[in-house]
Structure formats: C-alpha cells, structure tokens
C-alpha cells in the first residue's frame, strides 16, 4: 500500500503566457521536487470523461471551453484565465487525474494520492471559468466518487490562500457534500465569509492578511477539523494550494513548509478515523516556485510517511 502520484505531460502544455503567475514551470518544479521520492506509485492521468464533467458543468459550458481553445496564440475567458493551444488537453488531464486517483484509492490500490496537475480548478463554478481555472476537477471527482464509486458522503478541504468559490457553489445546496476552506479574507474572489454556511455543510475560516502558522492551525483545530469529524466522510478530497506560503507573491499569509506538513497530518488522521485513510489531494495554487516545490514536497512526504 502506498501513495499514488498522478500527473501528465499535457498539463505542462497549458501556457497562459509570459508573466502569467500560473506558469508551466510551476508543475515542472513540483515534479522535480518529487522525482527522488521513494515509495511513490506513479500513474499517468487519463483524459477526464465528458460524463464525469457533465455532473458538475453543463454540456454547453464544457463544449464552450473546449471550443474557445485557440489553434495558435491565446484566448481569454476572463482577464486572468487565458487559453493556449494545449489548454483543453491540460484541463481534461487534470480532471482525469483526480477521478482516476479516486478510483485507485477507493479500490484499495493506493492508500492516498496526490494529483500534480494544472490548470487549477477550485474557482470554476458550474457555468463560469475564472481565476486561472477551467474545469473544477475536485468537484467533478466528488461527483464521480458518488456516481461511479458508490460513496455517499464526500468532504473537500481547501487550504489554498484563495476561497474556492466554485467548489462551494457546487456543495452549498447538497448535504452529501462538505466544503471547508481556510483562506485570506478579504482577497480574490471575494467569497468565503464565515456566515456562508450552505445547508450547514460549508465551513469558511477567513484569515486576515498577516496570519501566520499559529493562526492557521488554530482555525483548523477550532473550526474545520471538528466540523469535518462531525460530517464523517466516506472520502476526503483536498484542494492543496500552497499560495498561503509567506513567500507567495499573490497573497499575504505567512505559512511555512511545516504548516503544510502539519495540516496534511491532521487531515490524514481524520481520513483514518472516518474512511480507512482514503484521501486524494490535488494541486491548486502556489506561485513562488521555490516555496511551491518545497511545500508540495512537505505535503507529499507526510502522505507517503503516514499512510
């Protein structure tokens, strides 16, 4: 039994252009940092299926995103969300990575998994791509776990520095889903206030700029982890963004690598309490290349060591 690393070279082929923070180099540095890890099983991501994506995104939206992919040059879905020739394939691989990781973990082929993919997904709402994201891979994987794997209760915990408005939009009316997020607030995209609670299944822990690891850990210990325990999931999915790191250029939280290791350890403990340790993590943000690589390595090291 082991930790599964799922990725695909196509995820490097999405290129929003020079100077865009969501660069192909992000994935290259993460994979380089994980290259030497022993004891990881490795798997190439399949393409996400239209049937899976359609459980979250309408057919019109799905086809519209793929039809917007330019044969050359770039096309913008919004001022932040830029497509290049490889973007459609990358987004489909990102979805396929997470759904196939769920399949592997539910089948007992791996204890847990990390999906090293881009573009990220947690900002994309059912009918709107935004914030560097094309398809909401983690929301699609949650629906896949229910519809295909037969699981009932799916929890998504998101420690990216930005609020996952898209994932919340999918979860907030459905008591079989749980969404909890720690994020800087106020900050893009503007959602994620503490009083956004869905049908009692949403827990937002907004953190002011300057919050350090102690404040982050307190938010998890006092709010997110107790609510996760109360929900008692059949599967735990993690939106692992590393842009709450103190070196990140896009935000102002002050986390360091040990904080990401700490939260990973707490989430694994919760997964062991409720769902035989079944946890699937997917890369979201993280824009300082050195901090991103080191933080993702700290995250995966805990997944590998504490399976």
Residues tagged active-site: 123
* DSSP reduced 3-state for 250: coil
What's the chain's length in residues? 307
Choose, by CB under 5 A, the member of 8, 144, 162, 163 that binds Zn ion.
Answer: 162
Q: x/- binding map, residues 112-151, to Zn ion, per CB under 5 A? A: ----------------------------------------
> Minimum distance between the CB of residue 81 and Zn ion, rounded to whole angstroms?
13
> Minimum distance between the CB of residue 16 and Zn ion, rounded to whole angstroms?
15
Q: Which residue's CB atom is positioned nearest to Zn ion?
A: 285
* Closest residue by Cα to residue 21 from 122, 132, 124, 121: 132
Q: How many residues bind Zn ion (CB under 5 A)?
A: 5
User: Contact at 8 Å (CB) between 8 and 45?
Assistant: yes
Long-range contacts, stretch 302-305, CB < 8 angstroms, 24+ apart: 302/261, 302/264, 302/265, 302/268, 303/3, 303/112, 303/113, 303/114, 303/264, 303/268, 303/279, 304/2, 304/3, 304/37, 304/39, 304/40
> Among the residues of 136-233, which ranges form H helices?
137-147, 165-171, 213-219, 225-231
Span interacting with Zn ion, options 30-38, 180-188, 204-212, 239-247, rule CB under 5 A: 239-247
> Minimum distance between the CB of residue 284 and Zn ion, rounded to whole angstroms?
6
User: Distance between CA 21 and CA 286 in Å, rounded?
Assistant: 9
* Closest residue by Cα to residue 20 from 184, 190, 250: 250
Residue with smaller CB distance to Zn ion, 213 or 233: 213
160 binds Zn ion (CB under 5 A): yes
> Minimum distance between the CB of residue 123 and Zn ion, rounded to whole angstroms?
8
Choose, by CB under 5 A, the member of 243, 248, 256, 288 that binds Zn ion.
Answer: 243
Q: x/- binding map, residues 250-289, to Zn ion, per CB under 5 A? A: -----------------------------------x----
> Minimum distance between the CB of residue 285 and Zn ion, rounded to whole angstroms?
3
Residue with smaller CB distance to Zn ion, 14 or 162: 162
C-alpha distances (whole Å) from 226 to each of 222, 232, 241, 265 are 7, 10, 21, 15
Q: List residues near Zn ion by CB under 5 A.
A: 160, 162, 241, 243, 285
């Amino acid at each position: 039994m082991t930790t599964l690393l799922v990725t695909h070279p196509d995820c490097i082929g999405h290129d929003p252009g020079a100077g865009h923070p969501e660069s192909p180099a992000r994935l290259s540095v993460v994979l380089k940092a994980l290259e030497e890890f022993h004891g990881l099983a490795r798997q190439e991501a399949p393409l996400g299926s239209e049937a899976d994506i359609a459980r979250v995104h309408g057919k019109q939206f799905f086809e519209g995103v793929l039809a917007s992919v330019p044969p050359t040059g770039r096309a913008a879905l919004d001022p932040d969300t830029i497509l290049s020739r490889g973007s459609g394939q990358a987004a489909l691989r990102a979805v396929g990575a997470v759904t196939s990781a769920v399949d592997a973990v539910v089948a007992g082929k791996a204890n847990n998994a990390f999906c090293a993919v881009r573009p990220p997904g947690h900002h994309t709402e059912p009918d709107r791509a935004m914030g560097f994201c094309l398809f909401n891979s983690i929301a699609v994987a949650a629906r896949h776990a229910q519809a295909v794997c037969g699981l009932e209760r799916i929890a998504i915990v998101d420690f990216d520095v930005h609020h996952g408005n898209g994932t919340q939009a999918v979860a907030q009316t459905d008591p079989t889903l749980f969404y909890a997020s720690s994020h800087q607030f106020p900050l893009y995209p503007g959602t994620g206030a503490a009083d956004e609670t869905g049908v009692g299944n949403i827990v937002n822990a907004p953190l002011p700029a300057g919050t350090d690891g102690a404040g982050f850990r307190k938010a998890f210990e006092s709010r997110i982890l107790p609510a996760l325990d109360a929900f008692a999931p059949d599967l735990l999915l993690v939106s692992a963004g590393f842009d709450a790191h103190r070196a990140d250029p896009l935000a102002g939280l002050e986390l360091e690598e040990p904080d990401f290791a700490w939260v990973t350890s707490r989430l694994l403990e919760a997964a062991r309490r409720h769902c035989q340790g079944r946890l699937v993590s997917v890369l979201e943000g993280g824009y300082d290349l050195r901090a991103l690589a080191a933080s993702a390595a700290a995250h995966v090291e805990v997944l590998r060591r504490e399976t």
